[in-house]
Amino acid sequence: MAHKILLIDDSSISRKMFKRELANEGYEILEASSGASGIEIYKNESIDLVFLDLTMPEMDGFQALEILKNIDPQVKVIILSADVQTTSREKAFELGAVDFVNKPINNENLKCVLERELSC
């Protein structure tokens, strides 16, 4: 059975590129265009891994991460962000993210992160 991955990102272009890359690898990808809709999907689906953008309107990735961790302390969340500030990276890890991948996404790096996190 394919691993189910939830991608929460307000950029339709980012979601499309991400989905195309990972669907070719056999993963089932669910998409959400906001933190709130991503949280609802997470509540209703059996998700193996969440990729979460930090910069989104209404609810940013930090807020969404906190809520996801409150719902399920074992949730595996990988941050996807163009934000290269050390403080953002540190805050994401403090809130419980398992990894941080910079945008634009390097497909080989993405595959390595996926293999590492889904083999645990």
CATH code where residue 75 lies? 3.40.50.2300
Residue 100: what pLDDT?
93
Give the pLDDT score at 1: 61
pLDDT of res. 99: 93
In the prediction, which pLDDT does 40 show? 97
pLDDT of residue 120: 55
Of 80, 104, 75, 74, the C-alpha closest to 92 is 80
Instruction: Give me the number of domains the chain comprises.
Output: 1
> Which pTM does this prediction carry?
0.91
Whole-number Å distance between alpha carbons of 102 and 96: 17
Digits of tens for pLDDT over the chain (120 positions)? 678 999 999 999 989 888 888 877 888 999 999 999 999 999 999 999 999 999 998 999 999 999 999 999 999 999 998 877 889 999 999 999 999 988 877 778 788 888 888 875
Containing structural domain, residue 111 = 4-118
Q: What residues pair up with 103 in beta bridges, in sequence order? A: none
Strand, helix or coil for residue 59? coil
